[in-house]
Every structure is written in structure tokens, then in C-alpha cells.
Structure 1
Amino acid sequence: MQDILVVVDMQNDFIDGALGTKEAVAIVPKVEEKIRNFKGTVFFTRDTHETWYLDTQEGKKLPVPHCIRDTDGWQIRSELDKLRKTEPIDKETFGSTDLADELVALNIDDEISSITFVGLCTDICVISNALLIKAALPEVPIIVDAACCAGVTPESHETALKAMKACQINVVE
């Protein structure tokens, strides 16, 4: 049995770059502490867009170039990246089916006792991945550490936490 921590999109553009917020900046030390103290395997996701981002469906609805591959904004925040022991899982959209596939395979080989999510943004990528993994592994407890997450706004953060609770995801503070 093993515990898994998924660090979602803790990238420069979401922290203090193109789409950064003061709430995102504030969780960086908490996420760093969570990673340092976690007894289990830690995965990182990385929002990844190409130079033609603005031509995509997402880019048309959110016309702010961000997390463009190989830019500084795409990089995982340096103090967190230096703690990384696995390759980041690049994802081109909110939820990562690659992450789901990897966790399902891992659960077959070495049963997962829990999966905890932290990161950005609570109301977009954290909720998308938590629900995707809940659907893929319905018997594995899914946890979201709200103190280590931030949303686009404080209100949308709270709305996402309520939605995840309604879907039997354990939200802890």
C-alpha cells in the first residue's frame, strides 16, 4: 500500500506570471512543506501549451498565452521542482488522462491507499483531475488539501471545494 501526492500545475505562469494571483503565491511554502513531509510517491502535472495556444478552443475562451512549452512560465516553481523525483506529466488540457492511466497501472502493481491533490487552480485543473481520478479509481480515497490549493478567485476556490465534497472527495484544510 502506498500514498500518492499529486502536485497540480505549480508553474510560474499560474503563481506570479501571466495568470498569477496573490493566493497562488501564498500557497507555495505550504505546498513545499507538504512535498517535503509526504511519505509516498509525488507526481507533478504541468500545464503545457504550444505557440499556437490562442488558436485552440481553450485559447479562444481564455486569450492569455500561458504555460507555453519551454518558456519560464511553463517551468515548475524552482523551490518545488528541486524536490521532484519523477518526470512531470505534461497535459494539454485541464484533466490528465495520462495521469489517470499511470495511477490505474500503479494501483494494479502496488495498491494505492490514498491520492492527495494540491496545487492550481482549484476550480479548473485540481477539480478536473480529482474527479477524473475518482472516476478511474472509485475505491481509492481521494483527498484535496484546500490549504495547499488556490483558485482563480477565492470564491471559485470555495465553489470547487463544495463540488468536490459533493462527489465524495475528502476535502481537508
Structure 2
Amino acid sequence: MRVLAVIDMQKDFIDGVLGTKEAAAIVPSVMKKIEEYRQRGDMVIFTRDTHHEDYLDTREGRKLPVPHCIEGSEGWKIWPDIDTEGSLIIDKPSFGSPELAALLQKKNRQEPLEGIELIGLCTDICVISNAIMIKNSLPETEVSVDPLCCAGVMPETHHNALKAMSMCQIDIKSKGEEK
């Protein structure tokens, strides 16, 4: 079984307070990738950046003083065109999700995973954080990222994150490559 981890495809990162045109542009590719995994019977897991009303008092809030993904708000929701039905959604209070890495370790013990692919937002913050956590948790499992289904805070930081992940032996899929 292969696993697709869809990272933080939330309204605030697409058309909300931290939205970018690059994030909006990947939505159709993300939807297509999710459908491909489901048609093969593979697992799709979502993460959701989750903050609370005290966000500005947190360490992250002091460094990025833009309230976003406040639990229960419109911006916290997964983009409405993306179908999450039947999939686990993991709420995470920070960039990376130890819960996601632990779940994948457990699944791998039950049945060795063929690979884990990450897509979503933002390449240079939450995608890279989760990819490295997963790679460290499952060093013998193929971990990959599809750059056409990711967007960073800025195009330059997106590319920097892809280079950094590649250096950590996370496979960066080439344009048109299928897995």
C-alpha cells in the first residue's frame, strides 16, 4: 500500500490571510492526485494546521503575527472542492505532526508500506517538516514529494525546500513522473 499525505490544503493558505496565487494554482493537481490514490485503493491522510484564539501569544504567533487556521474558522477548513470523505484528518498545532509519523510507523509495522508521498502547503514550512519527520521515522521506506502538487510561501523558498528535502534522501518527483 502507498500513502498520500495531503498537508494543510486549507482556505487560509489558498485564498485566505496567507493565501498565494501559487497555492490556488495547485488545487486541481492536488484533487487529481487524491483521486488517483483512491482509485488504486491506497490510503489518503490529511493534515490540518490548527491554532486557537491565543495564537498571537504563542511562539509561532510572535514570529508570524498573522492569525490563521483558527480552529472552527472558515480559514481552518480544508478547501471545499477537496473531498476528505473516508480519510483521516490529523489536526496539528505546529509545522510537523508527530501523530502522522507515529501513525505511519504503526501502519508500516502492520503491513510494510510501498511508499509515502507528500503534497500540499506550504512546501517550505509544513511539507518539509512532515517529510523529514516521516523520513526519520521510516528510513527504509520511500518518501517522496510531488513539486507540482506543492506551493511555498514564495517560489524561491519552494525551490529551496525541494533542494533541502532532496539532500535528505526524500525523492522529488520529476514533471510527468508517475508512481
- The answer to whether TM tops 0.5 is yes
For 2:162, what is the secondary structure of its paired residue?
Answer: helix
Displacement, 1:84? 3.4
For 1:143, what is the secondary structure of its paired residue?
Answer: strand
Which ranges of structure 1 fall in alignment gaps of 5 or more residues?
Answer: none
Q: 1:6-58: CA deviations, max 9, x gaps? A: 00000000001010000000000000000011121000000000000000000
Stretch of structure 1 that moved more, 4-13 or 36-45: 36-45
Give the residue type in structure 1 aligned to 2:54.
W
The separation in 1 between residues aligned to 2:123 and 2:58, in whole angstroms, is: 22
Give the residue type in structure 1 aligned to 2:17.
A
Whether 1:140 and 2:144 are equivalent positions in the alignment is no
Give the residue type in structure 2 aligned to 1:139.
E
Q: How many equivalent pairs are there?
A: 171
Give the residue type in structure 2 aligned to 1:49.
H
Superposition TM-score, scaled by structure 1 size: 0.97
Aligned position for 2:157: 156
Displacement, 1:86? 1.8
Displacement, 1:83? 4.1
The separation in 2 between residues aligned to 1:107 and 1:83, in whole angstroms, is: 22
For 1:117, what is the secondary structure of its paired residue?
Answer: strand
Displacement, 1:87? 2.7
Identity between Structure 1 and Structure 2 (%): 54
Q: 1:111-148: CA deviations, max 9, x gaps? A: 10100000000000000000000000000000000000
How do 1:71-150 residues align onto structure 2 when only pairs under 5 Å count?
71-80=73-82, 82-150=83-151
Aligned position for 1:17: 16
- Structure 1 runs (4+) deviating above 4 angstroms are none
The separation in 1 between residues aligned to 2:36 and 2:131, in whole angstroms, is: 21
Contact 2:46–2:84 (Cα < 8 Å) also in 1: no
Q: CA RMSD in A?
A: 0.7
Superposition TM-score, scaled by structure 2 size: 0.94
Give the residue type in structure 1 aligned to 2:121.
L
